[in-house]
Amino acid sequence: MQQSKGSVFLKVSGILMIIGGVYTILFSGILGIIGYSAGTVIASSGELTAGQAVGALTLIAAIVSLIGGILELITGIVGVKNNNKPEKATTCLVWGVIVLVINAAVLIMALAGGISGVVTIIATILGSLVLPVLYIIGAVKNKQSV
């Protein structure tokens, strides 16, 4: 069986998305929620403070990040599983677009929340946007080979 044009794109980006999804689930999502919960217990005073409002936004960002990590993990698995199946290209394309949109939202929240440092920002952009774009390119190339 001959490989389709986008097979390598889908397989490699899918593997990297699996790794990134697991990392995001463990560190950004779960630890963010645990950190928020611990901070809330420590700081609970009965009235809403500016710190608690920021904490609530942090919790929302952690939940969105957790959802994004789960979707990224699923997308990576779908890409690896279907990298040699051009008839599944549309499915891969849809998953890639979903992850790209979620990652863009998380990136905007991170930038608005004050992540700083050029290296951190560049790494976040590369991890959030470039990988899903490569995955989408692989899906489009697979779709063209049908």
pLDDT in tens, 24-59: 888 876 777 776 666 665 555 556 666 666 667 677
Domain membership of residue 35 (yes or no) is: yes
Mean pLDDT by 10 residues, the chain (146 residues): 77 93 82 66 59 69 82 95 91 95 81 70 78 93 84
Domain assignment of residue 88, given as a range: 7-144
Burial of 35 (0-12, 13-18, 19+ CB in 10 A): middle
Domain membership of residue 45 (yes or no) is: yes
**pLDDT for the residue numbered 41:** 57
Say what angle helices 31-43 and 50-81 make with each other, to 10 degrees: 170
Number of compact structural domains in the chain: 1
Domain membership of residue 139 (yes or no) is: yes
Q: Which pTM does this prediction carry?
A: 0.79
Concatenating the DSSP letter of every residue in 22-66 gives HHIIIIIIIHHHHHHHHHHHHH--SS--HHHHHHHHHHHHHHHHH
Domain membership of residue 87 (yes or no) is: yes
Domain membership of residue 2 (yes or no) is: no
Domain membership of residue 50 (yes or no) is: yes
Domain membership of residue 1 (yes or no) is: no
